[in-house]
Amino acid sequence: MTWIVKVTRRGQITIPVEVRRKSNIKVGDRLLVKVTRDGILLKRIPRIEEMVGIDSQYGDIGEIERKLEKIREEF
């Protein structure tokens, strides 16, 4: 699907609701804006709350805290 949007005097655009829903973009979200060879890429930056557990494959929180404490003691 494609959309045509209008750029305002202040350089703003409105992202169509269908795009926001599909991309999970909500009020207050931050977007990465990157100029590519093909045009402009807008990419949603996940909120920190959404990142919880992303590295859980590396160990549980207790194990990680113990490793950090050991590293701190060494310094």
Spell out the domains of the chain, with CATH numbers in brackets: 17-74 (2.10.260)
Tell me what pLDDT residue 57 has.
77
At 50 the pLDDT is 74
Query: 30 versus 55: which is more confidently predicted?
Result: 30
For 53-63, write each residue's pLDDT tens digit: 777 777 777 88
pLDDT tier at 25, thresholds 50, 70, 90: very high
Q: Is 43:53 a contact under the CB 8 Å cutoff?
A: no
Q: Is the pLDDT of residue 8 over 90?
A: yes
Length in residues, the chain: 75
CA 6, CA 9: separation in Å to the nearest integer? Answer: 10
| Residue 43 in this model has a pLDDT that exceeds 90 | yes
pLDDT at residue 2, rounded to an integer: 92
